[in-house]
Chains A and B, each alone.
Chain A
Amino acid sequence: MINISEVLETNRMILEENLDVRTITMGISLLDCADASLKRTCDNIYAKLVRLAKNLVKTGDEIGREFGVPIVNKRISITPAAIVGSACCRKPADFVKIAKTLDRAAKRLGVNFIGGYSAVVSKGMTPADEMLIRSIPEAMATTERLCSSVNVGSTKTGIDMDAVRLMGEIIKETAERTKKNDSLGCAKLVVLCNAPDDNPFMAGAFHGVTEGDAVINVGVSGPGVVNYVLKNTCRGADFETLCETIKKTAFKITRVGQLVAQEASKRLGVPFGIIDLSLAPTPAVGDSVADILKEIGLEHPGAPGTTAALALLNDQVKKGGVMASSYVGGLSGAFIPVSEDQGMIDAVNAGALTIEKLEAMTCVCSVGLDMIAVPGSTSAATISGIIADEAAIGMVNQKTTAVRIIPVAGKRVGQTVEFGGLLGHAPIMKVSPFSCERMIARRGRIPAPIHSFKN
């Protein structure tokens, strides 16, 4: 029988420590929507999304009220649009029509983001992939809820450096096309290496071709809960106690996600896919991964020891979470976005955290350089260089890495940028002034790495 202290603990996590289910994401295959006619493809896409996801928001809200836990976002991910549109799109503007259809469906269904305006080009780009990529600036400027991602490499294939070069230019153009909103388009655009097929988190969510027709994936959160427990029980404790505490807390957080995912799956009649075991911060005070790092014993994230602290945190979250869920997938780890985490913002403002240190941190945690605002004058080649560095970390270490960088048009180091809502606000960070132009100008791809002699 449940006792009163357990009940009060759960409710304290929810009411005071920002425990929530960050997202229920319905993955929907649009492969059967492809047609030689663009209009018919768009009609098919709209009809299928509305048919499968019409009760997603309502059901998510109902589950939230019944269990008394907030389910913050209800979202959709789709088959990479470059594949869906490859039979009917003849120019980038054709893909923009698909983008607008997706946005219209998202608004009708009440989901806050729809992800999958994507191309998976780890080894090379088809003409359709390239057209989709070239359409991204226009698509991001003319839609509201669409998220876009491009996978430019993998451990098995190496890195497509032509796509990396192109993405540097596309990010710059997207920033320019959305400059009225502080280049917000780039906050919904991510470049990945080893992108998972079942990620429920935006902006990198898409419904991979290895997936079934529809699936429910759930992303949990709760950095505030971990921080609270560490603060109250682990001050000065040894590493064993620290790690055990994080692990047990991650277990509890993930069990809530598992419950919500199974319930959503049952009520919507859509199979349960995975739980993404991520510690996802928000700009709200007390919902910060940076605060956990500080609680472990750092003055600010970025101080020496940060990579070790993050590695420890990430590993314990996985160890606790894996036990709590029947299927784990997605990105699963601690997110370290800058603009979405007040503690990270403070660390940048204090001069403790640089892009270079963030890059090192991405070697041991979930995803990568995330929500980083840089000067609008940063060159396309430099952005490509940053993407190539992150992709190389992912490729060699057999992990997902990503870059979501915003070269804010018209802004310089020292200024800040406001994205609003969950996307938060960010100081503009300094980028290395040294050029990588001649390297980025090279054509072709970086070969897949060797899988032995691991040093």
Chain B
Amino acid sequence: MKKAIITVVGKDTVGILAKTCTYLAAARINILDISQTVVQDYFNMMMIVDVSKCRKPFEDVASDLGELGLKMGLKIRCQKSEIFEKMHRV
């Protein structure tokens, strides 16, 4: 399994999750876990996803999601999970 972490940060609005998930489904990216918080109207969401069946290069997925975020006025980042695991786990 190749895991990635998707984060969505920005002003809370209708359809953030729906649009993100639609893209992921089309790209054959499986969602393993979702957690979210809303702090002072700001929406913070994190998804742990499995990209091993995704046919697109990882970089393209990251830039597509970045663009999708821009259209909704949000910051969406998609990063390989190792950066978080290495930093926070001994």
- Interface assignment of A258: CB less than 8 Å from any CB of chain B: yes
Q: Which of B56-72 contact A (CB under 8 A)?
A: 58-59, 62-63
Question: Is A4 touching B85 in the complex (CB atoms < 8 A)?
Answer: no
Question: Is A67 touching B59 in the complex (CB atoms < 8 A)?
Answer: no
Q: Which of B34-90 contact A (CB under 8 A)?
A: 35-37, 44, 46, 48, 58-59, 62-63, 77-88, 90
- Say yes or no: A65-B86 contact (C-beta < 8 A), given A1-B48, A4-B46: no
Question: Is B87 touching A256 in the complex (CB atoms < 8 A)?
Answer: yes
- Interface assignment of A10: CB less than 8 Å from any CB of chain B: yes
Smallest CB–CB gap between B69 and chain A, Å? 13
Contacts of B20 in A (CB 8 A): none
Contacts of A3 in B (CB 8 A): 35
Give 3 closest A-B pairs by Cβ, nearest first.
Answer: A68-B79, A67-B83, A255-B86
Question: Is A4 touching B35 in the complex (CB atoms < 8 A)?
Answer: yes
- Residues on B lying within 8 angstroms of A by beta carbon are 5, 7, 9, 33, 35-37, 44, 46, 48, 58-59, 62-63, 77-88, 90
Question: Is A4 touching B59 in the complex (CB atoms < 8 A)?
Answer: no
Contacts of B77 in A (CB 8 A): 11, 68
Question: Is A65 touching B82 in the complex (CB atoms < 8 A)?
Answer: no
- Interface assignment of A62: CB less than 8 Å from any CB of chain B: yes
- Interface assignment of A350: CB less than 8 Å from any CB of chain B: no
Contacts of A258 in B (CB 8 A): 86
Measured CA separation A117–B64 after assembly (Å): 43
Question: Is A7 touching B59 in the complex (CB atoms < 8 A)?
Answer: no
Question: Is A7 touching B46 in the complex (CB atoms < 8 A)?
Answer: yes
Smallest CB–CB gap between A264 and chain B, Å? 13
- Interface assignment of A450: CB less than 8 Å from any CB of chain B: no
Contacts of A240 in B (CB 8 A): none
Interface size on A, residues (CB 8 A): 22
Smallest CB–CB gap between A106 and chain B, Å? 26
- Say yes or no: A65-B59 contact (C-beta < 8 A), given A2-B85, A7-B7, A256-B86: yes
Contacts of B80 in A (CB 8 A): 66-67
- Say yes or no: A8-B44 contact (C-beta < 8 A), given A2-B5, A62-B59: yes
Task: State the main secondary structure of chain A at its contact with B.
Answer: helix
Question: Is A2 touching B81 in the complex (CB atoms < 8 A)?
Answer: yes
Q: Which residue of B lies closest to A323 (CB)?
A: B90
Smallest CB–CB gap between B88 and chain A, Å? 4
Among B7, B9, B33, B88, which residue has the most Cβ atoms of chain A within 10 A? Answer: B88
23 A-B pairs within 8 Å (CB atoms) are namely A2-B81, A2-B84, A2-B85, A2-B88, A6-B87, A7-B5, A7-B7, A7-B46, A7-B84, A9-B88, A10-B83, A10-B84, A10-B87, A10-B88, A11-B77, A62-B59, A65-B59, A67-B83, A68-B83, A69-B83, A256-B86, A259-B83, A323-B90
Measured CA separation A55–B79 after assembly (Å): 22
- Interface assignment of A252: CB less than 8 Å from any CB of chain B: yes
Question: Is B87 touching A255 in the complex (CB atoms < 8 A)?
Answer: yes
Among B33, B63, B81, B87, which residue has the most Cβ atoms of chain A within 10 A? Answer: B87
Measured CA separation A4–B86 after assembly (Å): 15
Contacts of A2 in B (CB 8 A): 5, 48, 81, 84-85, 88
Measured CA separation A69–B79 after assembly (Å): 9
Measured CA separation A258–B90 after assembly (Å): 13
Question: Is B7 touching A8 in the complex (CB atoms < 8 A)?
Answer: yes
Contacts of B48 in A (CB 8 A): 1-2
Q: Which residue of B lies closest to A8 (CB)?
A: B44
